[in-house]
Structure 1
């Protein structure tokens, strides 16, 4: 017959097994905590990057909407825009127009290339300064069509590169966005800021 192990000796073995399981569960808890913490950092970085991209895009849109960037590119360069993302009244991001808007192409608009003028007078005609005046005789209109004597250098379709940069000190996010925009420019604006084809 087998001798029975005393009850006191079994208690020590149970304690060792319990400590091993406790150590394993502690290691798993720490690993889960680190995994969740890393995922939260990834999400926060992605959110900060998207907010910075939005701030840069908003800066470009505001610059284009002001319509003076092609008349005074140097005046727009390094202009700061403060963007409040969460509506608390405090600027979360500061974006700058960097580098200065650059015209990289301009093509003179010939009178024959102009689109038809809007009829009825309700819509504004952005090409109005490009159109030649109609000649009028002493008693009647001699021509219904625009006279092709307008200077071909008076208007041009110009293509511009506008860039914005955002640097956020809190999240160390740094983004740069560039966007091309096409603008009709008139008169000496063509010669001042663009080379023509």
Structure 2
């Protein structure tokens, strides 16, 4: 009879230990799942941030690639977003929905930081057509100057809320009459 009671108690202890082990394994699985989800969110946030940064840099590069910013700093893009000056929209995922842009970049009006007149003796008159057009024979200084421009852009992803601001400078050789109004010598 004692043997039967002892076996019954052992079964109860085994059941309790099995339930505790099941609870411990369940907690480990839930914790691991939460860690994986958190890591995925971190990676997605980093990806959204980098894509917004790429869009901001691409918009600045497009603005720098043309010389519109020296003529019209308030309207640097030929193809605008929503007909808004200095606004560029990008659709990175290739979906056909043209009403919703993945990232919207606002390029602020570029500002001229400095102008340095270029002496005639620093020009490569024979090697560069642009520099040859700046040459002014009897004078010390040419008709061109190196101007330094400051570009700032803010890219926003309306879906994820990622927002990135980028700043970049550029120095270009420009005719003095093109920059005289925006960047006085």
TM-score range, shorter chain: 0.7 to 0.9
- Does 2:14 align with 1:14? yes
Q: 2:103 is matched with which residue: 82, 88, 93?
A: 93
Superimposed CA distance per residue, residues 82-141 of structure 1 (whole angstroms, 9 cap, x where no aligned partner) = 11222334531111112x1011010111211212422xxxxx612232123xxxxxxxxx
* Greater CA drift, 12-21 or 77-86: 77-86
Once residues 19 and 28 of structure 1 are traced to their aligned partners in structure 2, the CA distance between those partners, rounded to angstroms, is 14
Q: What is the TM-score of this pair, normalised by structure 1?
A: 0.80
**Alpha-carbon distance change, 89 to 180 in structure 1, aligned in 2, over 3 angstroms:** farther
- Does 2:118 align with 1:103? no
Once residues 153 and 43 of structure 2 are traced to their aligned partners in structure 1, the CA distance between those partners, rounded to angstroms, is 24
Q: 1:112 is matched with which residue: 99, 121, 130?
A: 121
Counterpart in the other structure of 1:141: none
Q: Which runs of 5+ in 2 are unaligned?
A: 78-84
Conserved? CA contact 2:49–2:162, under 8 Å: yes
Aligned pairs for 1:58-73 (under 5 A) are 58-73=58-73
Superimposed CA distance per residue, residues 39-90 of structure 1 (whole angstroms, 9 cap, x where no aligned partner) = 0011001000100000000000111112211111122395111112223345
**Alpha-carbon distance change, 172 to 34 in structure 1, aligned in 2, over 3 angstroms:** same
Counterpart in the other structure of 1:159: 148
Q: What is the TM-score of this pair, normalised by structure 2?
A: 0.85
Conserved? CA contact 2:70–2:179, under 8 Å: no
Larger Cα Rg: Structure 1 or Structure 2? 1
Measured after TM superposition, the shift of residue 14 of structure 1 is 1.4
Counterpart in the other structure of 1:173: 162
Counterpart in the other structure of 2:74: 74
Cα-Cα RMSD: 2.1
The number of aligned residues is 174
Once residues 129 and 40 of structure 2 are traced to their aligned partners in structure 1, the CA distance between those partners, rounded to angstroms, is 52
Conserved? CA contact 1:159–1:181, under 8 Å: yes
SS in structure 2 opposite 1:109?
A: strand
SS in structure 1 opposite 2:129?
A: coil
Once residues 92 and 124 of structure 2 are traced to their aligned partners in structure 1, the CA distance between those partners, rounded to angstroms, is 41
Q: 2:132 is matched with which residue: 104, 125, 128?
A: 128
Higher helix share: 2
Segments ≥4 residues shifted beyond 6 Å: none
Of structures 1 and 2, the one scoring higher in RCO (CA 8 A, sep 6+) is 1
